Structure 1
Amino acid sequence: MVLNQKKYSLYFYLLTLGLSLAKILFTLRPEINLFTEEAQYWLWSQNLAWHYYSKPALVAVLNFISTAVMGNTELAIRINAILCGIGIAWVTFIFGTYLYSKKVGFWSALAIQAMPFWWLASTFHMTDSSLSFFWILSIYLSYRGINEENRVCWIYAGIATVLGLTAKYVMVLIFPVLIIYLLFIRKWKTQRANFLVFVMISALGFLPIVIWNWQNNFETFLHLLALTGTEGTSSKPFSLTAASKSLLEFVKGQLAIVSLFLLPSWLLTFKFNFKNISTPFIFLVLPGMMAFLIFASLSIFKEAMVNWPTFSYAGLAIVFARWMTLQGKFWKIVSHGGIYISIALPLIFILPDYTGIKSSKTVKKREQRIIKRLLGHEQLAKRIDHLTDSLGIDNAFVFSDSYHTASALSFYLKGNPQTYVLNMGSRKNQFNFWNGIEQFLGRENTGIFVSWNYDSMEDKVSFQSLIHEESFITKFHNIPRRAVKIQYWSNLIEYKPTLPTSY
């Protein structure tokens, strides 16, 4: 029996490390660049602060550490996501093992790694990467604290929550989750002191948020209010049709993000567990249900991103695995097949084309549409570097109408220069809190304007003369993409960008 259990540990590590290797190979594909949000978070790491306009600082701190060790490379950025992915799977494995058995722990880890949201969080270094890891870690440790009445576990859970709060604010959901669960199992009185210790430690995670916002007129809070539709946005009349459509799109997105191939098994999992309710089941599904309901409600009034509640879904994998191990042959085959397909398809997509499966032009065009935000940034940067050298320019600054483009160029341009954003009417972003191109007024510098969206700067900026202009077309497997405008201007003489009023 012991040997039988040990094999599940071996299988877990072999599978998890194998998937991590596949994501490293994906990152090393020469045609694949950083996701533009990843580039933005890397640029934050070059401008370290307590906090940033729209997000806490952990994503930048992790990038700062990894690039200090590995240099400014794509792998140095994505290794953070890959390690978080390993961590998410590992905690899910030990949590399932703690509650049931190593067999359940193994299938829990396999189920979580079959879900598309795990692939996204563990491949691209976004704020959801570290949030998802510290969420499941804190949930696991707090459950042990409750189950064992162990204050040390509560303390460790508080530390994990601190780090989760510095990843993303939605980590605050852990407080009502634990309160509701303690009330449900009637342990509030016996665990109240431990919970207060947990809260006091966790509160440290709010300090960087408060410090930065105190220094910056609480801009983050205005941004968050805008995301909920209560501040900084124009009011629109409520439409039942539009609200229903938005809610339906959100629900469909949640089904896809936990894998459509597992949908029949998911339905039977919940049917079984609602007939056989246990306290572990309540603890594991409560976070996901709360997050889903909160963001589903929000989607009725304002667009809710499909990834927003997914950090809380790791516990569902354990519920699923527990159900699956109790089934007969047929449903085990169906569930295992859904897991294997859900893992195999992303592998085919992300790995280099060793087999020739993706060699047809039709498949390449489809791939181009899917990963369009990962393409062309390095090609564009190399073209700008070439033009700058050819024109003999050594005092240039690069700016764009898009913070996505500006961030990607900063990463891929030679020397990683600080880039700038010319606001053409967009909402606020982190560039609004850094020095802009106004610092070059009256100085003999060359401004390089780069835009996928505009052919001109629309009188927002005036220069003495145009040096060079072209439309550059990037390619993916020799398939052309849309053109990007590149303009070289000399001597900035006037700067009057749109002042952002929305958050």
Structure 2
Amino acid sequence: MKSESRYTLGFWTITLLLVVVKVLFTLRPEVNLFTEEAQYWLWSQNMAWHYYSKPPLVAVLNYLSTAILGNTELGVRINAILSGVGISWVTFLFGSYLYDKRAGFWAAMVMNAMPVWWLASTFHMTDSSLTFFWALGTYLAFRAIREGKKSWWIWAGIATAFGLMAKVVMGLLLPVVFLYLLFTRSLKANLGNFALFVGVSLLGFVPALIWNFQNNFDTFKHLATLGGAGGGESKSLDLGSSLKWFLEYFSGQLAIISAFLLPAWVACFRELIKTKDKPSIYLVLPGLLTFLAFAALSFMKRVEVNWPVFAYTGFAVVLGAWIVRQSAAWRKYASVAIVLSIVIPAIFILPDVTGLKSIPALEKGEQKAFNRLSGHEALAERLDFLQDSLELNGEFYFSDSYHTASELSFYLDGHPQSYVMNMGSRKNQWDLWEDMSQFLDKGNVGVFVSMNHETMDGRAAFDELIHEETFVPYFGEYPIRKVKIQIWRNLRSYQPFIPDSY
């Protein structure tokens, strides 16, 4: 019992230390919100049943957290940090339930060592809550199968429903559980409870159905286009591109589960193939099926490295239990690999307290890594200065990019609603919101901010150009990007590109 408590204490100590690391990173003044984080925050300022490309949970969480902590980076990222704690905790619970607290501890440490965990627990993306509810749903569903209690099936359904409100790929848990019941020849005995599980889970689709019924089913068209089922003329298969995309995808997956642990992963999966242990197969099945599905898709289009990784949480439990069964030499190797996998990114994201990052090569590398996370607040401060010095009143801010527009809304004084002038991109959430045509001939000042265009290419015309400049924010001594700023008076005409692609 004393040993069990030691592993529980060790788990919570390391987990909470990592929380401190994430908070310190979030409080670094030179690091701003990632552009997607800013977009999801702006969604929370425009609450809806659903959004063009994603379900509502990411916006709901931002709405609740910023109501408590304010519209700050920590107010947004606390959702990711807490999701990371939840992911690690469920992994610890699952390993402890199947084996013991020692296996649970190792499973959680493997999870903490995987770069996917760092991504989901640092930046508040849809993958943050998705990965937590996926881990929770798989854990609860396994307990439901093993113990046969209706209550576990209901709780598993509730977790799945919340996961569906984070991202629709959560629905893959339903066929995974079905296939495992077939594999273990227990479907007949669990058919009623499985149907209950599916019914409760599908409640998570209700917000999406309500919104899409009201909005021409845009989300379904968008997802179909992403899957290659629409969005233009079909293209012949390019074997060279297909192989390149697959190799990018495959190498990315190896990196995302920690390169330091690759020998252990190989040995662990070799043992699993031999033993065909049923709980381990349940844990591996979701990640394997998801990996294969996106691998097939990678032959047709470029697949982002993070797309399948939400389903890899079960891998950590399998490897954690495997490490416990190994020799002292294997455990020593695993310990070193896990420490390196955790400490290296921790040092990388922490503030520079040692002065080591001031070395030009390291500073330049950090600037490149944080390029999309930097310069947004400095840009907003420049715009606030111009607003004050030029004595602007009734101004509105717009951009050719929803990424830029989102950052402006977050960092500008007063958090004004920004606007996007579509200059040729596919449809997005801004095409569904009220646009800047409301300012036609109202005498308002329009502030155009772009990182891609020098002019508005005739999409909008104003009466008078008040001010124009190119602003360059810096990360330390290194320039980040050039930003065109134009301040105009009185919007006279507005003809944005009307997208017909999803």
TM-score (norm 1): 0.99
Q: CA deviation at 1:482?
A: 2.1
Q: CA deviation at 1:305?
A: 1.1
Q: CA deviation at 1:347?
A: 0.5
Contact kept, 8 Å, 2:462 with 2:491, in 1: the verdict is yes
Quick check: 1:450 aligned with 2:449?
yes
Counterpart secondary structure, 2:262: helix
Q: CA deviation at 1:450?
A: 0.2
Partner of 1:75: 74
CA distance in 2: counterparts of 1:394 and 1:255, whole angstroms? 53
Quick check: 1:36 aligned with 2:1?
no
Partner of 1:329: 328
Partner of 2:143: 144
Map 1:169-180; keep pairs closer than 5 Å.
169-180=168-179
Cα deviation per residue 1:39-98 (whole Å; 9 max; x = unaligned)? Answer: 000000000000000000000000000011111010010000000000000000010000
Aligned-CA RMSD value? 0.7
CA distance in 1: counterparts of 2:485 and 2:77, whole angstroms? 29
Counterpart secondary structure, 1:108: helix
CA distance in 2: counterparts of 1:19 and 1:361, whole angstroms? 27
Partner of 1:374: 373
CA distance in 2: counterparts of 1:77 and 1:482, whole angstroms? 25
Counterpart secondary structure, 2:465: strand
Partner of 2:126: 127
Partner of 1:216: 215
Contact kept, 8 Å, 2:212 with 2:219, in 1: the verdict is yes
Map 1:358-397; keep pairs closer than 5 Å.
358-397=357-396
Q: CA deviation at 1:481?
A: 2.1
CA distance in 1: counterparts of 2:223 and 2:409, whole angstroms? 27
Cα deviation per residue 1:260-316 (whole Å; 9 max; x = unaligned)? Answer: 111111100101111111110110000000100111111111121111110000000
CA distance in 1: counterparts of 2:232 and 2:82, whole angstroms? 38
Q: Which amino acid aligns with 1:349?
A: F
Contact kept, 8 Å, 2:41 with 2:59, in 1: the verdict is yes
Counterpart secondary structure, 1:265: helix
Counterpart secondary structure, 2:482: strand
Counterpart secondary structure, 2:493: strand
Counterpart secondary structure, 2:473: strand
Q: Which amino acid aligns with 1:151?
A: K
CA distance in 2: counterparts of 1:482 and 1:241, whole angstroms? 33
Quick check: 1:113 aligned with 2:109?
no
Q: CA deviation at 1:230?
A: 1.1
Q: Which amino acid aligns with 1:380?
A: L
CA distance in 2: counterparts of 1:252 and 1:139, whole angstroms? 26
Counterpart secondary structure, 2:52: coil
Map 1:303-318; keep pairs closer than 5 Å.
303-318=302-317
Partner of 1:301: 300
Partner of 2:477: 478
Partner of 2:182: 183
CA distance in 2: counterparts of 1:485 and 1:180, whole angstroms? 54
Partner of 2:355: 356
Counterpart secondary structure, 1:254: helix
CA distance in 2: counterparts of 1:493 and 1:26, whole angstroms? 45
Counterpart secondary structure, 1:301: coil
Q: Quote the sequence identity (%).
A: 56
Counterpart secondary structure, 1:431: helix
Cα deviation per residue 1:145-171 (whole Å; 9 max; x = unaligned)? Answer: 000011101100011011000000000
Cα deviation per residue 1:447-497 (whole Å; 9 max; x = unaligned)? Answer: 000001111101110000100000001011122222100000000001011
CA distance in 2: counterparts of 1:329 and 1:368, whole angstroms? 41
Q: CA deviation at 1:235?
A: 2.1
Counterpart secondary structure, 2:457: coil
CA distance in 2: counterparts of 1:437 and 1:23, whole angstroms? 38
Q: In structure 2, do the counterparts of structure 1 residues 233 and 305 end up closer, same or farther at CA, with 3 Å as the change threshold?
A: farther
Q: Which amino acid aligns with 2:138?
A: I
Q: Which amino acid aligns with 2:481?
A: R
Q: CA deviation at 1:233?
A: 3.2
CA distance in 2: counterparts of 1:29 and 1:38, whole angstroms? 16
Partner of 1:403: 402
Q: Which amino acid aligns with 2:365?
A: R
CA distance in 2: counterparts of 1:47 and 1:434, whole angstroms? 9
Partner of 2:262: 263
Partner of 1:226: 225
Counterpart secondary structure, 1:490: strand
Cα deviation per residue 1:381-426 (whole Å; 9 max; x = unaligned)? Answer: 0000000110010110000000000000000000000000011101
Counterpart secondary structure, 2:474: strand
Partner of 1:196: 195
CA distance in 1: counterparts of 2:459 and 2:307, whole angstroms? 35
CA distance in 2: counterparts of 1:180 and 1:272, whole angstroms? 22
TM-score (norm 2): 0.99
CA distance in 1: counterparts of 2:276 and 2:237, whole angstroms? 39
CA distance in 2: counterparts of 1:322 and 1:156, whole angstroms? 25
CA distance in 2: counterparts of 1:486 and 1:378, whole angstroms? 15
Q: CA deviation at 1:332?
A: 1.5
CA distance in 2: counterparts of 1:323 and 1:461, whole angstroms? 62
CA distance in 1: counterparts of 2:228 and 2:301, whole angstroms? 6
Q: CA deviation at 1:329?
A: 2.0
CA distance in 1: counterparts of 2:356 and 2:190, whole angstroms? 56
Counterpart secondary structure, 1:364: helix
Q: How many residues align?
A: 502
Contact kept, 8 Å, 2:323 with 2:331, in 1: the verdict is yes
Partner of 1:278: 277
Contact kept, 8 Å, 2:374 with 2:480, in 1: the verdict is no
Q: CA deviation at 1:502?
A: 1.6
Cα deviation per residue 1:98-151 (whole Å; 9 max; x = unaligned)? Answer: 000100000000000000000000000000000000011010001000000111
CA distance in 2: counterparts of 1:384 and 1:156, whole angstroms? 49
CA distance in 1: counterparts of 2:336 and 2:235, whole angstroms? 46
CA distance in 2: counterparts of 1:42 and 1:350, whole angstroms? 22
Partner of 1:415: 414
CA distance in 2: counterparts of 1:63 and 1:234, whole angstroms? 38
Q: CA deviation at 1:234?
A: 3.4
Q: CA deviation at 1:32?
A: 0.6
Instruction: Give runs of ≥4 in structure 1 deviating > 4 Å.
Output: none
Partner of 1:440: 439
Q: Which amino acid aligns with 1:412?
A: Y
CA distance in 1: counterparts of 2:352 and 2:46, whole angstroms? 37
